[in-house]
Chains A and B, each alone.
Chain A
């Protein structure tokens, strides 16, 4: 195909601590500035804007519109969506540029979990609110658990999966250790060990405090342009080679637990588009959703990185470690970096783009040509998106 779509600018703002001195709009403003500088563009060059956000998490209706001014979307043809993970904005942006190659599109997402007490029960009620209201919601509202509904639902999923794959709690804990290990530029490792993970608070067996990603604040901007335009603008554009997205049943009762069907179908679509037949060999690095530690393994299976009964052996051999055959979540993933619900999906894409450019400071994997970014919409929505990026 003559006209392909490239990522030409990246702007990410993340923090370990709650960001209290910057508002949603300011966070996005700074991220946009960063991305425009990265792409060598100015605000007037922006042709359109796409934002993604969740209304109920922001406590504001039409939360996606609210940030339009900060991303240079004023008096531009914009496309706004919500109720979707921000990785969906890559898909919408891709189609937008394919339909009109003259466009330069800004994709934006911001999440400030610190404004709503992520540990609080209000958030847990929200999980019930996203359930289908006639059959699933009454069941969910009846779950008595001081630590909330989310971990109870995740635990059902985890138990089925661990039984199917023959995994124990230690295997899952080792994933948490892998992702929470911080590598400093000199190669020194620091982070919790397996014992600390297994001793952390039990939320609902086998989900523990440290096998579930903590929530955080972040903003992310990605700028897309057609290949023709990108070649003029940017030394190192990153090509989008395949995209796929999919949703499974929202009725809890009719969804099969312990299977990531939505990821499997999204990946199928993306691999077809990118012409990838053996994902375990052709993909050099992957950033996938590890909202819960067991989910990383589930997604590895669904993405075709390994077969079900080899997961245990792969963990022991360190296949998914930074120096393994298929490094997964070398940036730390959601467990290591924190989960800014929604925005994290776009940050996964940004991380892969950095790896391909060779700019991932401190956790660069050598010789990356093809990378995969994956995001999963959480326990209640069962949506997944997959993007395959490659060197131009």
Chain B
């Protein structure tokens, strides 16, 4: 049977555009921070798991290899995971299997991304498509997501104003996050007036290009109990991937994310959660676009299917609401360094520990869920963490 796995430390760093540090320095910063927070030294770490979405962002082939020394992983087992945006959660899941399989006791998970080294992140993203059928169409992320958003709002009757409210909430929450890149005090009107990138996605519906890194230290049950009195356990995890052809999704509908529902079900089954709406205390949801937060809230069962609009209207997902979502600012406010979106998991950890500072929500948090979305717009990874 699989061993239990705990998160015992987190390493943070400010998200910025055009960071002066190199990839190595970024990784060094966060691993050092994580080790200090958990009172360990790099010799204690048994293995390192890297997560970074696309090599072409920083222009280094096998970009994790240059950072091995900086992470304390020299001459240790190191492995890199990459599933685009969902790297954020699928990398800690890979770290989880390192520990749960009984192979290692202390595993460092490092996610980093230096997106500003290239001329245009969109040019890089256009190379993920099939060169014969899809690339000639000239898709990029806003266009593809515009298609998806349109299918979504058509299906469930979501309005653009509701999408705008998510942007206002997340960028506002980021004002109290010291690591955030883009904290802003906006009104719904500001968002509605911002230019369209691809209808219905507007400029303020998107998240910024960012450089940054995050680290998490995972430990087996015995070690975790030795190191801390209050370990935060990995309770459930799930992954789901649909067909990479966006015109060939299993349900023939871009508006409903079957793969995300599947990943969430796996994670909740493992964690023994039957009614996420009442059993989950806090959620950090992957929100590169505003409508994406709404879609993910539905898929994660934080509101009824199609009820994400009402959720934001009624203020349930606000910081002081019944089920706060992205009180840290999410990707919209904190910045969206594709792979280093592991920040979502880090903030869940802080909220459970009560260490979230000004971002701390005014309620007891025992169980939290984080998700990551990515791949070729078809992969979702979910992790549920919490106290016993």
Please pick, from B60, B125, B240, the residue contacting A75 in the complex, using a CB distance under 8 A.
Answer: B240
Q: Least Cβ distance of A365 to chain B in Å?
A: 30
Q: Least Cβ distance of A95 to chain B in Å?
A: 4
User: Could you tell me if B65 and A77 are in contact, using CB atoms closer than 8 angstroms?
Assistant: no
User: Could you tell me if B81 and A81 are in contact, using CB atoms closer than 8 angstroms?
Assistant: yes
How many chain A residues touch the partner (CB < 8 A)? Answer: 59
Taken residue by residue from 317 to 348, chain B's Cβ proximity to chain A (1 for < 8 Å, 0 otherwise) reads as: 00000000000000000000000000000000
A62 within 8 Å of B (CB atoms): yes
How many chain B residues touch the partner (CB < 8 A)? Answer: 64
Please pick, from B76, B93, B94, the residue contacting A246 in the complex, using a CB distance under 8 A.
Answer: B76
User: Could you tell me if A134 and B94 are in contact, using CB atoms closer than 8 angstroms?
Assistant: no
Which chain A residues in 333-367 approach chain B with CB under 8 Å? Answer: none
Q: Determine the distance from Cα of A84 to Cα of B61 in the docked complex, in whole angstroms.
A: 11
Given the complex, which residues of A lie within 8 Å of B245, measured CB to CB? Answer: 69
User: Could you tell me if A68 and B243 are in contact, using CB atoms closer than 8 angstroms?
Assistant: yes
User: Could you tell me if B259 and A75 are in contact, using CB atoms closer than 8 angstroms?
Assistant: yes
A200 within 8 Å of B (CB atoms): no
Given the complex, which residues of B lie within 8 Å of A79, measured CB to CB? Answer: 81, 90, 93-94, 239
User: Could you tell me if B83 and A248 are in contact, using CB atoms closer than 8 angstroms?
Assistant: no
User: Could you tell me if A133 and B60 are in contact, using CB atoms closer than 8 angstroms?
Assistant: yes
User: Could you tell me if A84 and B83 are in contact, using CB atoms closer than 8 angstroms?
Assistant: no
With A84-B79, A88-B79 in contact, is A95–B56 under 8 Å at CB?
A: no
User: Could you tell me if B62 and A62 are in contact, using CB atoms closer than 8 angstroms?
Assistant: no
B93, B127, B131: most-surrounded residue (chain A CB, <10 A): B127
Given the complex, which residues of B lie within 8 Å of A83, measured CB to CB? Answer: 52, 55, 61-65, 80, 82
Interface residue stretch chosen among B97-105, B222-230, B277-285, B292-300: B97-105
Please pick, from B66, B103, B124, the residue contacting A132 in the complex, using a CB distance under 8 A.
Answer: B66
B74 within 8 Å of A (CB atoms): yes
Q: Determine the distance from Cα of A337 to Cα of B243 in the docked complex, in whole angstroms.
A: 33
User: Could you tell me if A99 and B240 are in contact, using CB atoms closer than 8 angstroms?
Assistant: no
Given the complex, which residues of A lie within 8 Å of B238, measured CB to CB? Answer: 77
Q: Determine the distance from Cα of A78 to Cα of B242 in the docked complex, in whole angstroms.
A: 10
A141 within 8 Å of B (CB atoms): no
Q: Determine the distance from Cα of A95 to Cα of B68 in the docked complex, in whole angstroms.
A: 21
Residue in B closest to A63 when the chains form the complex, CB atoms: B128
Interface residue stretch chosen among A52-60, A184-192, A289-297: A52-60
Taken residue by residue from 69 to 81, chain B's Cβ proximity to chain A (1 for < 8 Å, 0 otherwise) reads as: 1000111111111
A81, A129, A269: most-surrounded residue (chain B CB, <10 A): A81
User: Could you tell me if B241 and A249 are in contact, using CB atoms closer than 8 angstroms?
Assistant: no
A271 within 8 Å of B (CB atoms): no
B22 within 8 Å of A (CB atoms): yes
Taken residue by residue from 274 to 313, chain B's Cβ proximity to chain A (1 for < 8 Å, 0 otherwise) reads as: 0000000000000000000000000000000000000000
B315 within 8 Å of A (CB atoms): no
A100 within 8 Å of B (CB atoms): yes
Given the complex, which residues of A lie within 8 Å of B102, measured CB to CB? Answer: 98
User: Could you tell me if B69 and A64 are in contact, using CB atoms closer than 8 angstroms?
Assistant: no
Residue in B closest to A100 when the chains form the complex, CB atoms: B2
User: Could you tell me if A60 and B66 are in contact, using CB atoms closer than 8 angstroms?
Assistant: no
User: Could you tell me if B24 and A65 are in contact, using CB atoms closer than 8 angstroms?
Assistant: no
User: Could you tell me if B74 and A74 are in contact, using CB atoms closer than 8 angstroms?
Assistant: no
Taken residue by residue from 229 to 265, chain A's Cβ proximity to chain B (1 for < 8 Å, 0 otherwise) reads as: 0000000000000001111111100000000011001
Please pick, from B54, B62, B73, B243, the residue contacting A69 in the complex, using a CB distance under 8 A.
Answer: B243
Given the complex, which residues of B lie within 8 Å of A95, measured CB to CB? Answer: 97-98, 100-101, 103
Please pick, from B74, B93, B124, the residue contacting A248 in the complex, using a CB distance under 8 A.
Answer: B74
With A79-B93, A92-B97, A98-B100 in contact, is A74–B63 under 8 Å at CB?
A: no
B379 within 8 Å of A (CB atoms): yes
B153 within 8 Å of A (CB atoms): no
Q: Determine the distance from Cα of A65 to Cα of B375 in the docked complex, in whole angstroms.
A: 6
A124 within 8 Å of B (CB atoms): no
With A61-B128, A83-B64 in contact, is A92–B94 under 8 Å at CB?
A: yes
Q: Determine the distance from Cα of A121 to Cα of B348 in the docked complex, in whole angstroms.
A: 48
User: Could you tell me if B79 and A80 are in contact, using CB atoms closer than 8 angstroms?
Assistant: no
User: Could you tell me if B54 and A76 are in contact, using CB atoms closer than 8 angstroms?
Assistant: no
Q: Least Cβ distance of B259 to chain A in Å?
A: 6
Q: Determine the distance from Cα of A83 to Cα of B91 in the docked complex, in whole angstroms.
A: 14
Please pick, from A62, A65, A74, A383, the residue contacting B250 in the complex, using a CB distance under 8 A.
Answer: A74
Q: Least Cβ distance of B2 to chain A in Å?
A: 5
User: Could you tell me if A261 and B243 are in contact, using CB atoms closer than 8 angstroms?
Assistant: no
Given the complex, which residues of B lie within 8 Å of A94, measured CB to CB? Answer: 101
Q: Least Cβ distance of B57 to chain A in Å?
A: 9
Q: Least Cβ distance of A253 to chain B in Å?
A: 12
Residue in B closest to A74 when the chains form the complex, CB atoms: B243
Q: Can you spell out 6 A-B residue pairs with CB atoms less than 8 angstroms apart?
A: A61-B56, A74-B243, A81-B82, A82-B82, A98-B2, A265-B76
* Chain B interface residues (CB < 8 Å from chain A): 2, 22, 24, 52-56, 59-66, 68-69, 73-84, 90, 93-94, 96-98, 100-103, 124-125, 127-128, 130-131, 238-245, 250, 258-259, 262-263, 266, 375-376, 378-379
Closest 3 CB pairs of A and B: A98-B101, A130-B61, A99-B100
* Chain A interface residues (CB < 8 Å from chain B): 48, 54-56, 59-62, 64-66, 68-69, 73-84, 88, 91-92, 94-96, 98-100, 126, 129-134, 244-251, 261-262, 265-266, 269, 377, 380-383
Q: What would 7 more interface pairs be, CB under 8 Å, given A65-B378, A84-B79, A129-B60?
A: A56-B55, A60-B127, A75-B241, A78-B240, A83-B65, A130-B65, A246-B77
